[in-house]
Amino acid sequence: MRAAGESLAQALGIFRTTGNRNAEAWALNFYAAAIAAAGELPRAHALYEQALTMNRELNKPDDEAVAREGLGESLLSLGESGPGTAQLRQALEIYERLGMTPDTDRVRNRLADLTTAGTGA
């Protein structure tokens, strides 16, 4: 995961240097995911927040949903169940609206698991 994170950090730097905001917003989601997988949850959370803001500004709802899903998972991992499930629900709404069935199913199942575990209140 470390190598993936380093490569994504380099790509992110290139996109920022060249001013390619669409690619930067896209890369932020994947960089945040790599950072989260490496166990750096507070840093991943901050990156997902950046990705969410940028994807909303650029009107990229599919990437906004990815950022919301990642943000939701990072919040859950940090013990913030209410805000985490709220982000997952918003991601689910976007996935449903866009007809992104595999993503819809994944988030719907995740929310069901949280409800069953008693953390999705």
Residue range 33-37: mean pLDDT, rounded: 93
* Residue 118 in this model has a pLDDT that exceeds 80: no
Task: Give the pLDDT of residue 1.
Answer: 66
Residue range 53-68: mean pLDDT, rounded: 97
Burial 9-36 (b: 16+ CB within 10 A, else e): eebbeebeeeeeeeebbbbbbbbbbbbb
Task: Give the pLDDT of residue 113.
Answer: 95
In the structure, what pLDDT confidence band is assigned to residue 3 with cuts at 50, 70 and 90? confident
96 burial (CB, 10 Å; 0-12 / 13-18 / 19+) is middle
How do residues 63-111 score in pLDDT, each as one tens digit? 999 999 999 999 999 999 999 999 999 999 999 999 999 999 999 999 9
* Residue 120 in this model has a pLDDT that exceeds 60: no
Closest CA to 41 of 87, 83, 76: 76
Closest CA to 71 of 86, 49, 92, 90: 49
How do residues 13-27 score in pLDDT, each as one tens digit? 999 999 999 999 999
Tokens at residue 24, please? 């930067």
Give all domains of the chain, ordered by start, each with its CATH number: 2-117 (1.25.40.10)
